[in-house]
A and B are shown apart, each in its own frame.
Chain A
Amino acid sequence: MPADDRRFSRREFDREVLQHLDSLYGYALHLSHSAEDAADLVQDTYARAFRSYRQYTLGTNAKAWLFAILRNTFLNQRRSIRRRPPEIHCDWIDELEAGESIEPDRRGPDPYRKFLNDLLREDIARALAELPEDFRSAVVLCDVEGFSYSEIAEILEVPVGTVRSRIHRGRSRLRNMLEEWYSDGRGK
């Protein structure tokens, strides 16, 4: 039997899928713009993933598979509930700060750098939120999560050419909104 057809043990499966929890939560924040809805989305995603354990085989790209479940769950909920208009609140942006790595710096904490990081984080999050969901997903999956174009095509269920075009157009719009950060070196 080829290695790829081997089933994971339940323990291996859990270990494989649980390592993507933080990333999934981050993507859910970008989709839902609500900490509460993002947590629900992630929970529904894992509930579906655990139910699908027996269909999971070694060699499946676990991260892409989970992200596809999460996005489908989001789109289904949005279709069925006719949710509120895309009003942009700020509480979800604070959730992103929780993931900021503490950079080892011999000079000690730098309040000015932290201040700039906070400003830039908020501006990027707001600019991403302004993008249509198709573009936002393509850019977040590529530039934040580091997925390849073919993995993104799998998650979004569109051809690679469409992924490429959404990333190009999404980035160009982001750049227009964030021009000040982009070109003056403060984004570095």
Chain B
Amino acid sequence: MSFVDGLRCRECGRSYPAEALHVCEFCFGPLEVAYDYDAIATAVTRRSIAAGPPTIWRYAALLPAEPTGAVDLGAGWTPLVRADRLAAELGLGELWIKNDTMNPTGSFKDRVTSVALTKARELGFKVAACASTGNLANSVAAHAARAGMRSYVFIPSDLEQQKVVTTAVYGTTLVAIDGTYDDVNRLCAELTSEHPTWAFVNVNVRTYYAEGSKTLAFEVAEQLGWRAPDHVVVPIASGSQLTKIHKGFQELHRVGLLDDPPATRVSGAQAAGCAPVAAAFAEGHDFVRPVRPATIAKSLAIGNPADGPYALDAVRATGGSIGAVSDDEIVEGIRLLARTEGIFAETAGGVTVATLARLAADGVVRRDERVVAFITGNGLKTLDAVAGVVGPTATIKPTLEAFAAAVDTEGPTP
């Protein structure tokens, strides 16, 4: 059963019914799902969650949609991997990687899409749609196919070829827009008004969609033995994921699943070529000035981040920081994670690892902290980022002599 009381404006507090609404009609502030936490606390235990499915739906009581008949490809319950070799490289102590590359379509977006389309179906929608930088495009196309829903997916036309193919294959209507993601987003916001029978997962059902990211925090806490980590590093695009991870730890304590109030420091990661939230953090602003993105981290290339102000709030309230790293650092971050931990991340993961490295070097992320870095997308989606810098060690004839001549087998272990 659902424990949703309704929706509430985060800015002015006005209440709304749990329908396809995402902004307050009065002040345009974002709507948030309001839950009956006391009822959840009574209904849910660590044991009841452990008996649930190995997906995000084990936390259904804290999600705004019914798990029965969920639009589900198996999102969530991804590995939390102890990363000692990466920690040693960065001078850190206890470091964990939340490996969300392991989701059905290779990114954390499967979490939010599963929640959004499950709720959309409950509300009677037959059509799914989204504005995407690529990962969401994959996920909405796949989940819509699974649910038998028609779908419309809008992307910037300069997206990585891998993300275009891995969206189109699901038989969606894929529309490439000549413009940035922010242009795509604006068009979709307008289309939402013109097509009220479409569920735009990150527009008119965004309130529900965004809640899916809380499951990243839920899983990390459960995987750590029902403890919140000391410090998390999260990539920032719209800022929604970071905000919801912060909220997720708070909620677990609110419903009695964590013994102590979480004291998790939340730090954010952006690419220098699109760092409006990092800039606002550095300048001490509580608003975010939009920018025009220019970075290889296209999945994070949102120049006008909807939840930027709330991400700033979460980072400041917890004593975290926000870093911004260059494209070269992003590529090095991808390679460092791959060669130390065997995890191949897309560019957003490179941003996270490179930012973690910076924050560790600056003493912001500390050696005495239990740290979790969120790696949210699979490297196979952004091959171009590293295609120019890695390749075969040698190309030889199939003879022992050629091998001996070409390959040094005496070198140190990497």
- Say whether A associates with B: no
Q: B residues near A, CB below 8 A?
A: none
Q: Interface on A for B, CB 8 Å cutoff? A: none
